[in-house]
Chain A
Amino acid sequence: MIRFTDVEKRYDNGVDALRGISMSIEDGEFVFLVGHSGSGKSTIIKTLTGEVLPTAGRVMVNGFSLNKISERQIPLMRRTIGVIFQDFRLIETKNVYENLSFAMRAVGASPKAIKQRIPYVLDLVGLAGRSRRFPHELSGGEQQRVAIARALVNNPTTIVADEPTGNLDPARSYEIMQLLERINRLGTTVLVVTHELDLVKRFHKRIIVLERGRIVSDGKERPIRPVHRWE
Chain B
Amino acid sequence: MSKGHNFSYFIHEGVSNMFTHGFMSFAAVGVTVACLLIMGTFTLVAYNINEQLHRLEQDNQILAFVDDSLNDLEARALIDDIEGIPNVRSVEFISREQALDAYISQYEESERDIFDGMEASVLRHRFAVHVTEISLLGETAASIDAVDGIARVKAYEDVASGFVAMRNVASVVCIALIAILFLISIFIISNTIRLTTFDRRDEIAIMKMVGATNGFIRWPFVYEGFLLGLLGSLIGFLLQWALYEFVARGVSASDTMQLIQMVPFSQIWHYVAAIFGLSGIVIGVFGSLTAIRKFLRV
Known interface pairs A110-B3, A110-B5; A83-B203 also in contact (CB < 8 Å): no
CB contacts under 8 Å to A, within B198-214, are 202-203, 205-214
Which residue of B206, B211, B213, B214 contacts A89 across the interface (Cβ within 8 Å)?
A: B206
Mark interface residues in B87-107 (1 if CB within 8 Å of A CB, else 0): 000000000000000000000
Among A53, A76, A102, max chain B CB count under 10 A is at: A102
Q: Check B9 against A108 for contact (C-beta < 8 Å).
A: no
Q: Check A79 against B206 for contact (C-beta < 8 Å).
A: no
Q: Check A50 against B213 for contact (C-beta < 8 Å).
A: no
Q: Check A106 against B5 for contact (C-beta < 8 Å).
A: no
Which residue of A53, A71, A83, A111 contacts B209 across the interface (Cβ within 8 Å)?
A: A83
Which residue of A50, A53, A75, A110 contacts B212 across the interface (Cβ within 8 Å)?
A: A75
Among A53, A75, A105, max chain B CB count under 10 A is at: A75
Q: Check B202 against A78 for contact (C-beta < 8 Å).
A: no
A107 at interface, CB cutoff 8 A: yes
Known interface pairs A91-B202, A91-B203; A107-B209 also in contact (CB < 8 Å): no
A124 at interface, CB cutoff 8 A: no
Q: Check A108 against B209 for contact (C-beta < 8 Å).
A: no
Which of chain B's residues have a CB closer than 8 A to the CB of A83? Answer: 209
How many A residues, CB 8 Å from partner? 26
In Å, the complex CA distance between A115 and B207 comes to: 19
In Å, the complex CA distance between A82 and B211 comes to: 9
Which of chain A's residues have a CB closer than 8 A to the CB of B213? Answer: 72, 75
Residue of A nearest to B3 (CB): A108
Q: Check A78 against B210 for contact (C-beta < 8 Å).
A: yes
A194 at interface, CB cutoff 8 A: no
Which of chain B's residues have a CB closer than 8 A to the CB of A51? Answer: 298
Which residue of A79, A102, A105, A150 contacts B211 across the interface (Cβ within 8 Å)?
A: A79
Q: Check A76 against B5 for contact (C-beta < 8 Å).
A: no
Which of chain A's residues have a CB closer than 8 A to the CB of B209? Answer: 49, 78, 83
Residue of B nearest to A105 (CB): B9
Known interface pairs A108-B3, A108-B6; A75-B211 also in contact (CB < 8 Å): yes
Which of chain B's residues have a CB closer than 8 A to the CB of A107? Answer: 210-212
Residue of A nearest to B210 (CB): A103
Q: Check A103 against B206 for contact (C-beta < 8 Å).
A: yes
Q: Check A108 against B298 for contact (C-beta < 8 Å).
A: no
A77 at interface, CB cutoff 8 A: yes
Known interface pairs A79-B211, A89-B206; A106-B216 also in contact (CB < 8 Å): yes
A143 at interface, CB cutoff 8 A: no
In Å, the complex CA distance between A50 and B207 comes to: 14
Q: Check B5 against A111 for contact (C-beta < 8 Å).
A: yes
Residue of A nearest to B216 (CB): A106
In Å, the complex CA distance between A18 and B211 comes to: 25
Q: Check A91 against B210 for contact (C-beta < 8 Å).
A: no
CB contacts under 8 Å to B, within A11-58, are 49-51, 53
B118 at interface, CB cutoff 8 A: no
In Å, the complex CA distance between A71 and B217 comes to: 14
A158 at interface, CB cutoff 8 A: no
Q: Check A91 against B5 for contact (C-beta < 8 Å).
A: no
Q: Check B205 against A154 for contact (C-beta < 8 Å).
A: no
Among B202, B208, B209, B213, max chain A CB count under 10 A is at: B209
**Seed contacts A71-B214, A89-B202, A106-B216; 17 additional CB < 8 Å A-B pairs:** A50-B298, A74-B298, A75-B212, A75-B213, A76-B211, A77-B211, A78-B211, A79-B211, A89-B205, A91-B203, A91-B206, A103-B206, A107-B210, A108-B1, A108-B216, A110-B3, A110-B5
8 smallest A-B Cβ distances: which pairs?
A78-B211, A79-B211, A106-B212, A75-B211, A106-B207, A103-B210, A75-B213, A106-B210
A-B contact pairs, 11 of them (CB 8 A): A72-B213, A74-B298, A75-B213, A75-B214, A78-B209, A105-B9, A106-B206, A106-B217, A108-B216, A111-B5, A150-B210
